[in-house]
């Protein structure tokens, strides 16, 4: 098997060694593709690796008919249409830790350059002007830095600002007064921060909620002479509002690494002498580029080779130790979902998953996704995967509920999956038996012991002499060998079930004949 990997933005050559070393990976590096060219070529590739420049739009994703994974060698994924990727079952991974330090250092460099007019003074000197009067700066010491977004980078910037003896006030929806105290920063609302700060730096992702977070109204609340730093994303600050606030004298200066439209060669803001800028260089260090490329390459290799990823963006990430405990159940629960898909009549409306025993104390989201995947796969085919299973269930209108109980009826862990359709409720339970592997141990209210694999036949019948024999004879005439069989009954002469493991699929005509046999109520082939 060969995987075709397209790298469409410049990545560190040293950093992509995990891809180069992996067997069966064909790497194509094309960093100057136009969107049209990318659209024409993307269908050839299993993986796409980008930084911030390639716009991975819905159109590109839809043309990526072989795409399985998109790797972002960096943090921000605002250049990737995540809903489109999720809908098509394409996993998106990023490298969130690798460039924190570089981005924080760049922010501090911009803050200090801004305070002391270093770029402007250098520019004057280059133009043979020895000008000391025009470039009188301000000290950072004892000034207040307002940090909007106290995540990885924001917290690093705050720590460095304290080293400059600044006071730091921060706002982040996930910040608590206790956490703020621990980090040695003052806790505030966004209003507190923008009103108190002499310098404001933003470190949020670009989201619907953060677009133009710093807008005309926000500038009006700020101190006169405030200075602004943006090394996060263009668009968090409204560029028109910033321009006006500088022209009107409200804002004394701005240091910008990122812009609403990138790349550009001329920009209205750069016509202002108070604005200094870099072309999105926050993560551009040798160190950061190597780490982010290594991280994302590892995830791409691992994913395509069937392993787990460290930094999923459109799937919740699960700690390694938890994953090790739940992963053995992935196949079992997918089979339970698939079993019900064949067993239950009608369209699923509700899926209830009951986790009992040890599993009840664990993160079970990935297991639930596998149950949904199993349920949907037999109808929708291989296009269903972990990434889009929940999305597809939502779209179809299947309500998925998880239930947990530590009581497990004698099993270490027991999983029961129940499906409700318009006409019936059916359920199946499975477990992992020590040394024996996966077993289905209950179907509806009947106890069984079946390996969830291959071709099964589930029959409901009346507990009468001869019923089992008639089924065996009919299967024999159809040339179907029985490999294993379980029977169960509610009471003598009452409702009963047969669960057969057979060597091939029973065709529709065979099913009809089975249903026509005396004492047989129903027969359902289940292919796992
Ligand atoms: N200029 C550059 O080259 C680089 C830019 N970045 C940008 O910096 C951003 C932040 O990166 P990290 O610190 O690693 O991410 P992070 O996820 O650790 O931190 C982001 C923080 O923003 C907070 N946040 C979310 N919504 C908010 C809101 N409405 N108001 C205030 N805070 C809010 C979050 O709670 C989180 O704590 C990235 O999303 C990326 O866009 C990152 C690396 C390099
Ligand atoms: O990691 C991020 O979010 C960045 O903005 C870095 O962007 P880049 O990879 O340098 O294009």
315 inside domain: no
pLDDT of residue 382: 78
265 inside domain: yes
pLDDT of residue 315: 86
At 34-50, the pLDDT tens digits run 999 999 999 999 999 99
Q: Are residues 347 and 273 in the same domain?
A: no
Domain count, the chain: 3
Residue 72 maps to which CATH number?
3.40.50.720
pLDDT of residue 232: 98
**Separation of 153 CA from ligand 1 center, angstroms?**
7
pLDDT tier at 307 (50, 70, 90 boundaries)?
A: confident
Residues 6+ apart with CB under 8 A from 207: 78
pLDDT of residue 22: 97
117 inside domain: yes
Q: Are residues 89 and 111 in the same domain?
A: no
314 inside domain: no
Q: Are residues 180 and 267 in the same domain?
A: yes
Catalytic residue list contains 461: no
Catalytic residue list contains 233: yes
Phi-psi region of 66 (alpha: psi -120 to 50; beta: other; left: phi over 0): alpha
> Residues enclosing ligand 2, CB less than 6 A?
51-53, 73-76, 99, 280, 282-284
**Separation of 98 CA from ligand 1 center, angstroms?**
14
210 pocket-lining for ligand 1 (C-beta < 6 Å): yes
Report how far apart, in Å, the C-alpha atoms of 85 and of each of 93, 379, 471, 481 are.
11, 21, 48, 44
344 inside domain: yes
Handedness of CA 301, 305, 307, 308 (dihedral sign): positive
The pLDDT of residue 378 is above 90: no
159 inside domain: yes
The mean per-residue pLDDT over the stretch 516-522 comes to: 94
pLDDT of residue 418: 98
11 inside domain: yes
Q: Are residues 151 and 111 in the same domain?
A: yes
Q: Are residues 28 and 70 in the same domain?
A: yes
Phi-psi region of 102 (alpha: psi -120 to 50; beta: other; left: phi over 0): alpha
pLDDT of residue 138: 98
Inter-residue contact 25 to 3 (CB < 8 Å): yes
Active-site pick, 233, 267, 426, 461: 233
Q: Which two tokens stand for residue 60?
A: 């590109």
Q: Are residues 330 and 230 in the same domain?
A: no
ipTM field: 0.99
At 147-197, the pLDDT tens digits run 999 999 999 999 999 999 999 999 998 888 888 999 999 999 999 999 999
3-state secondary structure of 302: helix
Residue with CA closest to ligand 2 atom 9: 51
Start-to-end C-alpha separation, the chain: 25
Distance CA 92, CA 77 (A): 9
Q: Are residues 489 and 348 in the same domain?
A: yes
pLDDT of residue 369: 95
Q: Are residues 385 and 484 in the same domain?
A: yes
Q: Are residues 140 and 220 in the same domain?
A: yes
Domain that holds residue 390: 320-527
Tell me the average pLDDT of the chain. Answer: 95
Q: Are residues 251 and 365 in the same domain?
A: no
Q: Are residues 31 and 166 in the same domain?
A: no
51 pocket-lining for ligand 1 (C-beta < 6 Å): no
312 inside domain: no
Q: Are residues 252 and 358 in the same domain?
A: no
Q: Residue 439 belongs to what H/E stretch? A: strand 437-443
């Amino acid at each position: 098997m060969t995987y075709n990997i397209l790298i469409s933005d410049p990545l560190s050559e040293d950093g992509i060694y995990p891809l180069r070393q992996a067997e069966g990976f064909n790497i194509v590096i094309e960093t100057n593709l136009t969107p049209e060219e990318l659209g024409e070529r993307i269908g050839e590739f299993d993986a796409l690796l980008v930084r911030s420049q390639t716009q991975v739009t819905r159109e590109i994703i839809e043309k990526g008919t072989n795409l399985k994974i998109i790797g972002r060698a960096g943090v921000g994924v605002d250049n990737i249409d995540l809903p489109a990727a999720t809908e098509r079952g394409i996993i998106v991974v990023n490298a969130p830790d690798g460039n924190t330090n570089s981005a924080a250092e760049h922010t501090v460099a911009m803050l200090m350059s801004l305070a002391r007019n270093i770029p402007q003074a250098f520019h004057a000197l280059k133009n043979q002007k020895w000008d000391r009067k025009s470039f009188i700066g301000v000290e950072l010491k004892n000034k207040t830095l307002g940090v909007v977004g106290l995540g990885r980078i924001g917290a690093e910037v705050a720590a460095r600002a304290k080293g400059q003896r600044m006071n730091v006030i921060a706002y982040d929806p996930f910040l608590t007064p206790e956490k703020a105290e621990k980090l040695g920063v003052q806790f505030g609302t966004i209003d507190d921060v923008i009103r108190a700060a002499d310098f404001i730096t933003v470190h949020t992702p670009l989201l619907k909620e953060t677009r133009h977070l710093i807008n005309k109204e926000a500038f009006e609340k700020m101190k006169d002479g405030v200075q602004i730093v943006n090394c996060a994303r263009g668009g968090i600050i409204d560029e028109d509002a910033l321009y006006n606030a500088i022209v009107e004298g409200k804002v004394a200066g701005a240091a910008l690494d990122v812009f609403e439209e990138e790349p550009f060669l001329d920009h209205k803001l750069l016509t202002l002498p108070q604005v200094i800028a870099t072309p999105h260089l926050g993560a551009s260090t040798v160190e950061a580029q190597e780490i982010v490329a290594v991280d994302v390459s590892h995830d791409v290799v691992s994913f395509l080779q069937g392993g787990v990823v460290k930094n999923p963006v459109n799937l919740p990430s699960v700690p390694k130790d938890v994953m090790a405990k739940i992963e053995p159940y992935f196949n079992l629960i997918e089979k339970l979902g698939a079993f019900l898909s064949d067993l239950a009549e009608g369209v699923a409306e509700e899926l209830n998953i009951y986790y009992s025993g040890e599993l009840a104390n664990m993160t079970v989201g990935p297991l639930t996704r596998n149950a949904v995947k199993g349920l949907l796969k037999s109808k929708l085919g291989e296009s269903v995967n972990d990434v889009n299973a929940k999305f597809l269930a939502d779209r179809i209108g299947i309500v998925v509920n998880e239930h947990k109980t530590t009581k497990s009826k004698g099993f270490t862990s027991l999983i029961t999956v129940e499906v409700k359709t318009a006409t019936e409720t059916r359920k199946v339970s499975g477990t992992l038996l020590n040394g024996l592997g996966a077993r289905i141990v209950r179907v509806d209210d009947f106890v069984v012991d079946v390996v969830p694999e291959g071709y099964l036949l589930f029959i409901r019948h009346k507990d009468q002499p001869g019923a089992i024999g008639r089924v065996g004879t009919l299967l024999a005439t159809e040339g179907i060998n029985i490999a294993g069989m379980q029977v169960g009954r509610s009471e003598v002469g009452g409702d009963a079930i047969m669960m057969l493991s057979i060597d091939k699929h029973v065709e529709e005509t065979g099913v009809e004949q089975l249903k026509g046999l005396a004492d047989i109520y129903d027969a359902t082939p289940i292919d796992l």
